[in-house]
Amino acid sequence: MILECSHCGAPLDVGGRSPFTRCNYCGRTSRTSACKTQHRVTPQGWAPPQQWLPPPQFTVHVIQPLPYKKASGAIGCIIFVSVMLPLIIAGAAGFAIWAAAPRASVPDAPAGDDDEAEAEPAWDGTSTLRCSAGDRLQVSGVTMKAALPEVIVAESNCVLEITDSELRGDVIITMSGTARVTIRRGEIVAGRTVAKASSSSKLEVDGAKITLGAKNADGVVGIEVTSSVDVTVSGASVTVAARDPSKAVLVDATSRGRVRLVDGTYAGEFTIKADGSSEVRREGPPVEARLEVRSAAKVSGFKERHKAKPQKGAPARPGAPGDPLAPAFGPQPSKGPGCGCAPSDLACNMKCSAGKK
């Protein structure tokens, strides 16, 4: 029978009668009942691979493939048949020896150790998490201590769910194919980009705290979507910063990309860009943003922030909103009695407001 090691995914040829199976590659001991069965009957001519590189969804992360080590789970079975049976026949004296023997031969077998190993997160945050075809991964409670250039790469029909984790990196998620990623709660600290998604991938971020960019960051584009990508960010507390805040982009949607920003709070200055037949929708209290909407794109639910670029040499229109001199010319509710200046008497008004200070 071929079992799959529950720690590294390696195929293990075992008799299947021992309650514990030790892996020939990673050396971990798993409860036999917890191992997936790859083949009920060991196929004819089956030989163990000489080395094994654990796929990313397993708990063992290595740079080099693990070499095959003999002394396998099958030994447990051999011990059972060759040692235990005669001992049972030998009676009570034999039992005492047998009681000590299995512990020595399978040192990693205690059930407590096995339980701990099963609770270990599938990914520890020290390297890029790659999720690809057919992978269904769940990550929870991971705290990344150091930022990575790329935190998550999700491809083809990967399904990834991350809960209560702290993700740090320059680009947090790169998605393609029909990958589906869900992030619940936790914190995201993105140097430049939270998500870059293409071709029908789907991302849901729910209730996370998101810090996008920094005071010295350039090229900040929070969510970049194209094709038929669907992104929903709900109940997030988002803060955006950049070296030049007028260049920070929160959403850049093209083609048929769709982004929904539901509830939550948004702080900082940023642009929402939409092109092609994309759609960016804010649901909840309006959020202030610079809007760049082109062709058939739709953007709704935002309050437009006007580009406050002071144009050098352009004469300021007196009384125009934002004109620093406006208070002196317009209605003067702040002035107490006694000034009595005519609205056009600049010198009087200036003197009066100086005296008020």
What lies within 8 Å, CB to CB, of 174 at 6+ separation is 150, 152, 153, 154, 195, 196, 197
Nearer to Zn ion, 12 or 172 (CB): 12
| Contact status, residue 179 vs residue 158, Cβ threshold 8 Å | yes
Nearer to Zn ion, 49 or 327 (CB): 49
* Residue 189 in contact with Zn ion, rule: CB under 5 A: no
| Contact status, residue 203 vs residue 232, Cβ threshold 8 Å | yes
- Among 2, 3, 8, 261, the residue binding Zn ion under the rule CB under 5 A is 8
Closest approach of Zn ion to the CB of residue 300, in Å: 52
| Contact status, residue 251 vs residue 279, Cβ threshold 8 Å | no
* Residue 2 in contact with Zn ion, rule: CB under 5 A: no
Edge to edge, the sheet with strand 11-13 lists 11-13, 2-4, 36-39
In 3-state terms, the chain is what percent helix, strand and coil (to 5)?
Answer: 15, 35, 50
* Residue 5 in contact with Zn ion, rule: CB under 5 A: yes
Nearer to Zn ion, 59 or 211 (CB): 59
- How many other C-beta atoms lie within 10 A of the C-beta of residue 136? 12
Nearer to Zn ion, 20 or 25 (CB): 25
First to last CA, the chain: 90
* Residue 3 in contact with Zn ion, rule: CB under 5 A: no
Instruction: Return d(Cα 274, Cα 272) in angstroms, integer.
Output: 7
What lies within 8 Å, CB to CB, of 340 at 6+ separation is none
- How many other C-beta atoms lie within 10 A of the C-beta of residue 98? 16
Nearer to Zn ion, 26 or 238 (CB): 26
- Among 2, 3, 4, 7, the residue binding Zn ion under the rule CB under 5 A is 7
Per-residue contact string for residues 22-61; x = within reach of Zn ion by CB under 5 A: -x-xx-----------------------------------
Nearer to Zn ion, 120 or 263 (CB): 120
* Residue 10 in contact with Zn ion, rule: CB under 5 A: yes
Residue 247: phi and psi, rounded to 5, are -105, 0
Closest approach of Zn ion to the CB of residue 30, in Å: 8
Nearer to Zn ion, 7 or 290 (CB): 7
Closest approach of Zn ion to the CB of residue 165, in Å: 25
* Local structure of residue 126 (DSSP, 8 states): S
Q: Which stretch binds Zn ion (CB under 5 A): 19-27, 91-99, 191-199, 204-212?
A: 19-27
Residues forming the site for Zn ion (CB under 5 A)? 5, 7-8, 10, 23, 25-26
